Amino acid sequence: MIIARNVSKEFNGIKAVDNISFDVEKGQTLVFLGTSGCGKTTTLKILNRLIEPSAGEITIDGKNILSVQPEILRRSIGYVSQNNGLFPHYTVAENIAIVPNLLKWDKAKTSERSDILLEQLKLPVSGYANKYPDELSGGQKQRVALARALVSDPPVLLMDEPFGALDPITRAGVRKEFLELPELKSKTIVLVTHDVQEAFELGDQICLMDKGIIVQTGTPEELIFTPVNEFARNFFSHQRLQLELSALKFNSIWSSLADASPSSATSLNSNQSLWEGMEMLSEKNEETLVVRNSEDNSFKEISIQTIQSVYLQNKRNR
Amino acid sequence: MNEQLNLGQFMLQQSDKLLDQTIAHIGLTCISLLIAVAIGLPLGIWIADKKRIAWFVLGIAGILQTIPSIALLGFMIPLLGIGALPAISALFLYALLPVIRNTYTGITGVDPAITESARGMGMNKWQILFNVEIPLAMPVILAGIRTATVINVGVATLAAYIAAGGLGEFIFGGIALNNTNMILAGAIPAALLAILLDFLLSLFQKANLKKMRKVSLVLPVLLILFSSFYIIPYTSEKVLAGFTPEFMGREDGYLGLKSKYKLDIPTVVISDAVMYKAAFEKKLDVISGYSTDGRLKAYDLVTLKDDKTIFPPYYAAPLIRQDILQKHPELQKVLEILSGVINDSIMTELNYRVDYQKQLPEKVALDFMLEKGLYKKPQSGSGSGTIRLGSKIFAEQYILINMYKMLIEGNTKLKVVTRTGLGGTKICFDALTNNEIDMYPEYTGTGLLVILKPDKKTLDPIIGNREKVFDFVQKEFSDQYKLSWLKPIGFNNAYALMMRRGQAQSLRIKTISDLKNYLSNENHQH
């Protein structure tokens, strides 16, 4: 869906982004991860031409982005900026209607679409449509910003530290909703964050960036278990165990687990991580839980002990 | 009679004039403000992302702001003449800085995260400007417009100096005529107007951010509405008169012209500083000048004969505190040296050198004293006392007090300090009675009509007679204020109506009655 080749950006002779290339598959989420100043936000803004690249070529859905007028390009790409960027003088409904108005949608269509999104994001129309941003909580603002980016159903969504302004608890909650939102399932998403946990939870692929270059691109599993160099290894060192458990999905160790009888009480899915399994065990205070594989409808049993042994075994094998 | 009116009665009696002036005042303020907003707002927006140009533009606007308002009006006359146009231009320049600066500050103060998200959603430059930046900057912009409004209401009073009308007519007329009611009748509405307009704008400003989009629409409409109150007070009459605020309110001025001559002439109010030039440049045809004014000569104007004697004699004489005379009895003789030395034409000539040839009053006074052999070297005062001389703000007074300074320092051991530029009669006279100055040159007619203001019965038998007027003021000032009139210098700086020599000759107007007849014939032809 998105193909970037040899993209560079110089500001006054300093290379903020230095000859990077990456691909994003349709429906996948790519996360740019790195410390501040590594070039991740610049890279994101190059994609919708908020920043014009100094060199390189980018195509979205086969079209070179430089061949489209910037405003037209941006209207076709969802964008959630840092600190939500809601217009303080517009109501929630007006904020959401900005892009539809630019696209000259008729009013009925806009409000219908806006209502659906607000419902999905648990902001009932009756209570929230006519509120102003300063009357909302941080999490609610972020959800409105998301609705605003999604309203015209763009195939590509760019998100710049979308949860950066939220406190840790709200952030975890909004992130969870984000993952469950049906609207987002089919979107091609590029997201920027400095939060490793967030990158692991949301990213199908992660680009680890440093000083304007991509250090490593891969799945969370690849990044944590097979770092390409010292930088990549050190980047995750201080929460390695949690990240490793987050990177491992039940799918990838399915054969190592003991079968269980089908149970309606299963609360875990095989595409979830060992970390989530452990969280669930501890949360529900259960000895064992059942995981369901939705592809072949098989069931496996897990416990803290089995997770531990499977994890260690997996680690030894690498 | 008039002095017994209280303020309310005065305002009621003058309600027509008050309404005209108020409307003119609102009009001047709002039109200039409208232009300032129309130019300052786009300019402020334009420089918002151009740091260097911004510095330059704000610098220029700042410099304009520091020019004293009366000077700025003065600069306008050679460029734009008199009337509403130069007044509005000057007011516009004053209003410009707050509008530009606040627009600039407001636009640059909009959270960049918001404009970036607007860009990110695909709004173009203009959509961002009108839908995001201007509404969000509006509270700051409005604060600038409020500042500009209050400044303009204040400065617009000065418009009365250049025939643009407004409440300054009452204010400056009142100061010149020592008429407190008249001053207040102008000053109070002006103050109320400032408060009212500021309050109205504050309502807009308080209409929170959310309504700013509506405010950006309603405000210009309201401004245009207010501006339209005002019909530019410029007439294309064949003969237009320009009279000073003081002349307008005097029995021996405009009121007398109306009552005794039945003169009915389209009139604007104007400062004497620009009146002569305006007449010369054919912006005005008839003006109320002083008969010894140097500009009479400079601009080739002629005085019309006062054939019904409504203008009393205005013989200049030193007016001095009696306690000073008792303390320094030698002063009287010294101050009376000038008596009989200067007649009308000499005074006109001296004034001409200052007003038109731009010589310094000190130099003109010194040259004259040397020429007449009256100059003596200062006796470098041995500390026996200091005499404080005051003067009103026009050339003749500056020349006279410089002469008196030379005379006192040359003939006595007293030191002299001068307090020049004490505005009009009221300010000078108050300074004298309050013991802030010891003496200033005053005119018998002014003493009679502006300060003593006797009733008609007392006035009528003496008004045409030089000696009777002098005797009357001398006695009354001594009794009432403990002030002495010394011997008059000899010239009569009376009010006179003046016209351009060419026009007066071609219309065959020699007297005020001629003028009156000419005007009534003109009117009948219509």
For B329, phi then psi, to 5°, come to -60, -25
Nearest CA in chain A to B135: A89
- Asked whether residue A207 falls in the same domain as residue A307, the answer is no
Q: Which residues of B are less than 8 Å from A130 in CB distance?
A: none
Q: What percent of chain B has pLDDT over 70?
A: 93
The domain boundary residue, chosen from A198, A216, A238: A238
Does B466 contact A at CB distance below 8 Å? Answer: no
- Asked whether residue A63 falls in the same domain as residue A203, the answer is yes
Nearest CA in chain B to A78: B121
Residue B234 pLDDT: 47
**Is the Cβ pair A85, B119 closer than 8 Å?**
no
Q: Which residues of A are less than 8 Å from B127 in CB distance?
A: 102
pLDDT tens, position by position, B462-476:
887 888 999 999 999
A7 or B267, greater pLDDT: A7
pLDDT of residue B4 exceeding 60: no
- Asked whether residue A233 falls in the same domain as residue A261, the answer is no
* CA B413 to each of CA B318, B332, B382, B390: distance values in angstroms, whole numbers, following the listed order: 19, 14, 6, 19
- Asked whether residue A219 falls in the same domain as residue A283, the answer is no
Nearest CA in chain B to A154: B121
DSSP state of A249: B
Amino acid at B215: V
Whether A243 is covered by a domain: the verdict is: no
Does B121 contact A at CB distance below 8 Å? Answer: yes
**Is the Cβ pair A74, B119 closer than 8 Å?**
yes
Residues for chain A: how many in total? 318
Whether A134 is covered by a domain: the verdict is: yes
Residue B401 pLDDT: 93
Residue A255: other Cβ atoms inside 10 A: 6
Does B209 contact A at CB distance below 8 Å? Answer: yes
Residue B152 pLDDT: 92
DSSP state of B312: P
- Asked whether residue A217 falls in the same domain as residue A256, the answer is no
**Chain A: residues touching B (Cβ < 8 Å):** 48, 50, 71-76, 79, 81-89, 91, 98-99, 102, 132, 148, 158
DSSP state of A217: E
Whether A68 is covered by a domain: the verdict is: yes
Whether A217 is covered by a domain: the verdict is: yes
Mean pLDDT for B509-513 is: 90
Whether A116 is covered by a domain: the verdict is: yes
What are the residues whose beta carbons fall under 8 Å from the beta carbon of B140, sequence distance 6 or more? B102, B103, B105, B106, B109
Residue B526 pLDDT: 47
Q: Are B182 and B173 in contact (CB under 8 A)?
A: yes
- For B116, the closest of A76, A81, A132 (CB atoms) is A81
User: Would you say domain B2-227 falls under CATH 3.30.43.10?
Assistant: no
Whether A307 is covered by a domain: the verdict is: yes
Residue B273 pLDDT: 75
Domain range for A256 is 248-317
- Ordered by start, the domain boundaries in chain B are 2-227, 241-310+496-525, 316-492
- Asked whether residue A213 falls in the same domain as residue A309, the answer is no
User: DSSP assignment of B17-86, as one string?
Assistant: HHHHHHHHHHHHHHHHHHHHHHHHHHHHHHGGG-HHHHHHHHHHHHHHHHS-HHHHHHHHHHHH-SSHHH
The domain boundary residue, chosen from A238, A258, A286: A238
Mean pLDDT for A109-129 is: 88
Q: How far apart are CA B154 and CA B354, in angstroms?
A: 31
Residue A264 pLDDT: 63
pLDDT of residue B235 exceeding 60: no
Whether A48 is covered by a domain: the verdict is: yes
Q: How far apart are CA B283 and CA B455, in angstroms?
A: 37
- For B123, the closest of A81, A82, A102 (CB atoms) is A102
Residue A279 pLDDT: 86
**Is the Cβ pair A102, B116 closer than 8 Å?**
no
- Asked whether residue A98 falls in the same domain as residue A191, the answer is yes
Strands ordered across the beta sheet of B386-390: B415-419, B386-390, B439-443, B316-321, B483-485
**Is the Cβ pair A88, B209 closer than 8 Å?**
yes
- Asked whether residue A234 falls in the same domain as residue A94, the answer is yes
- Asked whether residue A162 falls in the same domain as residue A254, the answer is no
Mean pLDDT for B91-111 is: 93
Q: What is the mean pLDDT of chain A?
A: 89
B310 or A155, greater pLDDT: A155
- Asked whether residue A145 falls in the same domain as residue A176, the answer is yes
- Asked whether residue A218 falls in the same domain as residue A253, the answer is no
Q: How far apart are CA A268 and CA A290, in angstroms?
A: 7
CA B149 to chain centre: 21
User: Would you say domain B316-492 falls under CATH 3.10.105.10?
Assistant: yes
Q: Secondary structure of chain B: what % helix, strand, coil (to 5)?
A: 65, 10, 25
**Is the Cβ pair B132, A99 closer than 8 Å?**
no
- Asked whether residue A54 falls in the same domain as residue A190, the answer is yes
How many separate domains does chain A show?
2
Mean pLDDT for B87-107 is: 92
**Is the Cβ pair B122, A82 closer than 8 Å?**
no
Residue B407 pLDDT: 93
| Mutation target among A73, A75, A87 for the B interface, most CBs of B within 10 A | A87
CATH number of B241-310+496-525: 3.40.190.120
Does B109 contact A at CB distance below 8 Å? Answer: no
Angle of helix B84-108 relative to helix B51-66, nearest 10 degrees?
Answer: 140
Residue A210 pLDDT: 93
pLDDT of residue A263 exceeding 50: yes
Q: What percent of chain A has pLDDT over 90?
A: 48
- Residue A285 sits in a domain of what CATH number? 3.10.580.10
pLDDT of residue B515 exceeding 50: yes
Q: Are A41 and A191 in contact (CB under 8 A)?
A: no
The domain boundary residue, chosen from A212, A238, A264: A238
| Mutation target among B110, B116, B117, B136 for the A interface, most CBs of A within 10 A | B117
Structure tokens at B269: 């109010």
Does B213 contact A at CB distance below 8 Å? Answer: yes
**Is the Cβ pair B121, A74 closer than 8 Å?**
yes
Q: What is the mean pLDDT of chain B?
A: 86
The winner for highest mean pLDDT among A65-79, A273-287, B293-307, B445-459 is A65-79
Mean pLDDT for B214-240 is: 67
